[in-house]
Every structure is written in C-alpha cells, then in structure tokens.
Amino acid sequence: MSLLDDVARETLDAIRTRGTHRRMRVLAGQQSTRMLVDGRDCLLFAGSNYLDLASHPEVVEAAREAAATHGCAAGGSRLITGNLDLHEALEAELAGFIGTEAALAFGTGYMANVGVIPALVGPGDVIVSDRLNHASIIDGARLSRARVEVIAHGDIAALERVCGDARGEGKRVLLALDGVYSMDGHMPPLREMLGVAKRFDCMTLLDDAHGTGTLGRNGRGSGEHQGVLDQVDIYMGTLGKALGAFGAFVAGSARMRELFVNTARSFIFSCALSPPQVAAARAAVELVRREPGRRVALQLRAKRLRDGLAAHGIDTAPSQTQIVPVVIGDNAATMAVCEALLEDGFYAQGIRFPSVPEGTARLRITPMSSHTDDEIDALVAAVVSAIERHAPDLLEPHAPGAREGSFAATAGA
Ligand code: PMP
C-alpha cells in the first residue's frame, strides 16, 4: 500500500459516493455519424465533429499528403524548429476566414485559453468571467492571478458595475466569454456585453469553440451570428470540433499575434501542431468556406431535434444551437437514460458534475449536419422511451425540473 494508493482510493470513493464516477467508452471506426461504441454499432449524437469533416476525403488526403511531404511531427516548438511553412499558411487562411489581420495556432483550445489570459492580465488586473464559462477560461483566469469577477449569466448591470469600477481605478480589464455555452447550447447577449466592454475600453476574448464553422453567414461563429464580430479583440476558435482536425487558434490584430508569440507560455513552451493536423485543418477551413450548406443543415437538424422533443413535452431550453441538453437533474437517472439509449443504438452522453453544476445532470445531444431527418426522428423516439422508463417525472406537465439550477450555480468559476 502506497501513499498514491491511499490518495487514489480516498478520492475515487468520494467521487463514487457523489455518483459522478466516470469511465471512458471505447469508440472504433471512421469518425462520422455511425461508430462502434464499446463494440456496439451506434448512431453518434455525442461528438463535436459537427460538420462531419473529420473523415472528409479532402481532409484525410491533406493530412496524408502533409505526412508524406513534411513528416508526422513539427519537430519542436514554434520558436525553435517547429514553425513550418504549413503553420504560416494555415494561420493566413484562418485570418482570412475570420476576417482579421492575423491568427496564431495553439495546441488545443484549452491551451489557447490558459496561454492567452495570463498574457493579457496579471496580479492587480481584473477578469470579468461569465458564470457559465468553460473550465479552460476559469483555469486561465486562475493562472493569471488577476482578480476574477464572476458575473451571473447575462447580468449586464453587474458587468457595467464591475467594468466601470475597475477601469475607474485604472486597472486593465479583460471580459472573457464563451460564444456558445458548451453544456446548454445557447449564446450570451454578445451585443450588450461587448458593448459595455467597449464603452469602458476593456479587452474582450470570445471563446467560440462550438461556434467556429457552425454559426454565422460565413461560419465565423457566434459573433458573426449576432453581428458583433468586430467588437471582439481576441477570437478563439477550435480546429478539433466542427473543423474535424485538431488544435485551436486565436484571431485578431498582428500586434496581438506578436504579443502571444512572445508571452503566451502554452504557445512558447510546447511542440507545434504536427504537419498532418495543420494540413487537415487547412483543408477543413476551405470546406467550411466553400460549403455553407453544412452549417445550415446542422442547425436545421438541431431545430428538428428540439421541436421533436418539445412535441413530447421535453424541454431543451435554453438551447439555440447544435448543442441540445435535456436536463434530468439526478445523476443516476441521467446515466440510466444514457445507457438505455446505448442499448437502443444511440450514443448521447450523460453529463454530470463537475462539467455541469450539481443537481443539473443532463443528456447532452449533439446532432451532425449529415444526420438524416429519419435518424433524428428515431433518436427522439428513443429519448422519449428512455425518459419514460428512467426519468418519468420529466414528462409531467409542471415537473419541478432542475433547469433553474442550470443558471443558479457555477461549474467551478
Ligand atoms: N472552450 C470551450 C467552450 C469548450 O467547450 C472547449 C472544449 N470542450 C474548449 C474551450 C477547449 O477546446 P479543446 O478541446 O480544443 O481543448
């Protein structure tokens, strides 16, 4: 028996008691709408390959070709030997896609947020963070050692007060926002929030991990969808979700790029993205630009799903996007619904604390652009049947749902 064993046992026992113990499922097959999940053939409604680009022939071919011409590794960090012609070409493409002067790739979205935030603010400065922001913003804020002001979701008055006070004291202020809330599927009121930030000359960071490629006329995300992309100083997008590759990027001014090349520790002290990843991402960006029909189809599928569930009295509010939650509340009931769906051949993930606040466990359903209407309808029928069996209270006309709790507590901010 070692100290590690003691620590592991104690922590895992506490997690089990709380009903939030997790294990990894094993998926096999081509990344697309249908995969083997723990050996069972399933329709996938749990991933973030929203536009079904991960296995697109052009994306796969670009990765294959880059491996042949450049090899499988960048061979170093960007500031030493890892800055390949491919990285520069991808970043130029990304800047063109988002409509900014420059872009800079990061290893992942998580790394982008934990690198960028401490590069902008430090001790004595202020970060204004929405209560529902992603863990990577929360962790970036903690790393920065700036004062974190967590505001209630969409609380414009609080935002004005915090920005006004901090700027009045001459402090640097960064407003960090998710463009699409990853567990609720809705967007913050960007026009109002960014408007306040600009009025007080605060810096703004928009984490559009789930909006990149899926929202907006040109796929530029939630900011474009709400017509306020020009109010965003730093746009963070991911390459591993709708773009079907891997990595992330920030887009903004050339000076912003130069700042992060010199100061973002997760950029400086880490290997560059590999050639196949970079080439795949570039091919995917080209597809997103060329085929707007994919994001239109995606949002239509999501609407069909929300409408189908609503017809059976199942609430998916506040979802406005391809992330469609059904808040069940209880951990065990949520996982029972998830398992029942798997038995019927549908994989939609049950999500519990700490990804969502305690008491708001949910089924998180994420359709893809290439699901058919019949597949969506079949999923709706399966969800209704699983809920009837494992969470029947949810179907009561005025069931005391856990939904209010979704906004009442914070996922660790
Ligand atoms: N921000 C948000 C809102 C996310 O949902 C995620 C991923 N779940 C990330 C950042 C992190 O992105 P990545 O997976 O590329 O690290």
| 182 carries an active-site annotation | yes
pLDDT classification of 397: cutoffs 50, 70, 90 = low
Q: How far is the CA of 110 from the centre of ligand 1 (A)?
A: 6
> What does the pLDDT look like over 98-154, one tens digit per residue?
999 999 999 999 999 999 999 999 999 999 999 999 999 999 999 999 999 999 988
Question: CA gyration radius for the chain?
Answer: 21
Candidate of 184, 207, 215, 321 to mutate for ligand 1, largest count of ligand atoms within 8 Å of Cβ: 207
| 319 carries an active-site annotation | no
Q: Which candidate in 210, 225, 371, 390 is catalytic?
A: 210
Which residue's CA is minimally distant from atom 5 of ligand 1? 182
pLDDT classification of 396: cutoffs 50, 70, 90 = confident
> What does the pLDDT look like over 226-257, one tens digit per residue?
999 999 999 999 999 999 999 999 999 999 99
Q: Yes or no: is domain 57-290 CATH 3.40.640.10?
A: yes
Contacts of 67-74 spanning 24+ positions with Cβ under 8 A: 67/275, 67/276, 69/275, 70/275, 71/275, 72/274, 72/275, 72/276, 73/271, 73/274, 73/275, 74/271, 74/272, 74/273, 74/274, 74/275, 74/278
Which residue's CA is minimally distant from atom 15 of ligand 1? 109
Which residue's CA is minimally distant from atom 4 of ligand 1? 209
Neighbours of 290 (CB within 10 A): 10
The closest-lying atom of ligand 1 relative to the alpha carbon of residue 178 is 3
> What does the pLDDT look like over 305-337, one tens digit per residue?
999 999 999 999 999 999 999 999 999 999 999
The CATH code belonging to domain 20-49+292-394 is 3.90.1150.10
Amino acid sitting at position 59: V
DSSP one-letter code for 205: E
| 56 carries an active-site annotation | no
Would you call 177 helix, strand, or coil by DSSP? Answer: strand
Q: Does the CB atom of residue 348 touch ligand 1 within 6 A? A: no
**DSSP string covering 89-153, please?**
HHHHHHHHHHT-SEEEEES-HHHHHHHHHHHH--TT-EEEEETT--HHHHHHHHHHTPEEEEE-T
Residue 324 phi, psi dihedral angles, 5° rounding: -120, 105
Q: Does the CB atom of residue 107 touch ligand 1 within 6 A? A: no
DSSP one-letter code for 229: G
| Intervals of CATH 3.90.1150.10 along the chain | 20-49+292-394
Q: Does the CB atom of residue 403 touch ligand 1 within 6 A? A: no
Taking the C-alpha atoms of residue 186 and residue 179, their distance in angstroms, rounded to an integer, is 8
pLDDT classification of 413: cutoffs 50, 70, 90 = very low
The set of residues, in sequence order, having a beta carbon less than 8 Å from that of 216 and lying 6+ positions away, is: 222, 223, 224, 225, 229
- Closest of 319, 76, 61 to residue 181, by C-alpha: 319
For a pLDDT cut of 90, what percent of the chain falls above it?
92
Q: How far is the CA of 39 from the centre of ligand 1 (A)?
A: 27
Q: Quick check: bond before 292 cis, omega within 30?
A: no
- Closest of 240, 235, 213, 220 to residue 104, by C-alpha: 235
> What does the pLDDT look like over 343-361, one tens digit per residue?
999 999 999 998 999 999 9
The edge-to-edge listing of strands for the beta sheet with 126-130 is: 102-106, 248-252, 234-238, 203-207, 173-178, 126-130, 147-151
| Intervals of CATH 3.40.640.10 along the chain | 57-290
> What does the pLDDT look like over 162-185, one tens digit per residue?
999 999 999 999 999 999 999 999
What per-residue confidence (pLDDT) applies to 398?
55
Q: How far is the CA of 398 from the centre of ligand 1 (A)?
A: 34
The edge-to-edge listing of strands for the beta sheet with 346-347 is: 27-28, 34-37, 40-44, 346-347
- Closest of 123, 141, 135 to residue 181, by C-alpha: 135
